[in-house]
């Protein structure tokens, strides 16, 4: 019986072709990894650097408060009856849609530092009188720093998203006749929403009234 020409070489040829194709595929994959991995590292580095920024302001805290807002429309929420209550005054922190209110000891200008971090700073609260945190939706990619009642102090552009907002208050014990040397540090980082909470409570009531 005659064997058809070439039939005996078909299977080894296919195996060699598959091995060659796999080899070329692996070579292409390794080549892409050489390109993609450095790009990912660079992207991660620049993203981290972009979040590691600090801004310094002097903000007018009329009625013992100032605001962080995603846009001008969000500021309307500061007039809601549910914004400043006895509970939020105790926390020195009030929240609304796209809006955070920070309570102060001084009625007037206060120093404010805002630091954009790459994650939870997990820092020591020693040296701070009061520390509280909440979250804000900055889908606009903008953070407006606004004195009360309506005194723009600064504008920060950042990646749109949800941010944790942690407020550190210091020198609240210097308040006398609604003036003092109190100052405020705000640290923000990208994170999921969280209920407003106090991490360190200032025990003395401030001259901050609510109806």
Structure tokens at 168: 């550190």
Would you state the pLDDT for residue 194? 93
Q: How far are the Cα atoms of 1, 16, 157, 162 from residue 8, in angstroms, in the given order?
A: 14, 14, 70, 66
| 177 pLDDT higher than 70 | yes
Q: What is the DSSP string of the chain?
A: -PPPTTGGGHHHHHHHHHHHHHHHHHHHHHHHHHHHHHHHHHHHHHHHHHHSEEEEEEEEEGGGEEEEESSTGGGGGGGSTTTS-HHHHHHTEEEETTEEEEE-S-SEEEEEEEEE-SS------TT-SEEEEEEEEETTSEEEEEEBTTEEEEEEE--SEEEEEEEEEE-GGG-BTTB---EEEEEEEE------EEEE---SPPS----
Work out the angle at residue 85's Cα, subtended by the Cα atoms of residues 80 and 86, and round it to the nearest 5 degrees. 170
- What does the pLDDT read at residue 173? 95
User: pLDDT value at position 42?
Assistant: 45
Average pLDDT over every residue of 87-101 = 96
Residue 182 has pLDDT above 80, yes or no: yes
| pTM more than 0.85 | no
Average pLDDT score over residue span 74-103:
94
In terms of phi and psi (left: phi > 0; alpha: psi -120 to 50; beta: otherwise), the region of 174 is alpha
CB 150 within 8 A of CB 54: no
**101 neighbors 95 (Cβ within 8 angstroms):** yes
**28-35 mean pLDDT:** 65
CA atoms within 13 A on the CB side of 31: 6
Instruction: Tell me the fold of 53-200.
Output: Substrate Binding Domain Of DNAk; Chain A, domain 1 (2.60.34)
Task: Assess contact for 83 and 103: CB atoms under 8 A.
Answer: no
pLDDT for 116-144, tens place per residue?
Answer: 999 999 889 999 999 999 999 999 999 99
pLDDT given for residue 69 in this prediction: 97
Identify the band that residue 1 occupies on the pLDDT scale cut at 50, 70 and 90.
low
- The pLDDT-based confidence of 38 (bands split at 50, 70, 90) is low
Q: How confident is the model at residue 73 (pLDDT cuts 50, 70, 90)?
A: confident
Q: Please say if the pLDDT value at position 99 is more than 80.
A: yes
For residue 72, the model assigns a pLDDT of 85
Alpha-carbon distance 107 to 105, whole Å?
Answer: 7
Kindly tell me if the per-residue pLDDT of 206 is higher than 90: no
- Rounded mean pLDDT of 8-33? 62
- The overall average pLDDT reported for the chain is 84
Q: Is pLDDT above 70 for 34?
A: no
Residue 30: predicted pLDDT: 64
If one compares 131 and 79, the residue with the highest pLDDT of the two is 131
Contact 186, 68 (CB under 8 A): yes
Dist CA 205 CA 89 (whole Å): 9
Question: Domain residues of the chain, as ranges?
Answer: 8-49, 53-200
Per-residue pLDDT, averaged over 8-32, amounts to 62
């Amino acid at each position: 019986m005659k064997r058809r020409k070439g039939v005996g070489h078909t299977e080894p040829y296919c195996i060699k072709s598959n091995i060659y194709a796999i080899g070329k595929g692996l070579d292409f994959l390794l080549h892409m990894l050489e390109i993609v991995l450095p790009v990912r590292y660079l992207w991660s580095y620049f993203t981290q650097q972009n979040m590691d920024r600090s801004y310094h302001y002097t903000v007018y805290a009329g009625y013992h408060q100032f605001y962080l807002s995603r846009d001008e429309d969000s500021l309307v929420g500061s007039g809601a009856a549910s914004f400043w209550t006895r509970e939020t005054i105790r926390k020195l922190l009030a929240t609304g849609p796209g809006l955070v209110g920070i309570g102060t000891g001084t009625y007037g200008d206060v120093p404010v530092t805002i630091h954009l971090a790459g994650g939870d700073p997990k820092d020591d609260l020693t040296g701070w009188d009061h520390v509280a945190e909440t979250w804000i939706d900055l889908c606009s990619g903008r953070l407006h720093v606004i004195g009360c009642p309506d005194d723009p102090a600064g504008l920060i552009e950042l990646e749109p998203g949800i941010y944790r907002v942690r407020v550190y208050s210091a020198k609240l014990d210097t308040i006398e006749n609604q003036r003092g040397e109190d100052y405020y540090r705000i640290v923000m980082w990208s994170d999921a929403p969280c209920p407003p909470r106090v991490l360190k409570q200032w025990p003395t009531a401030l001259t901050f009234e609510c109806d």
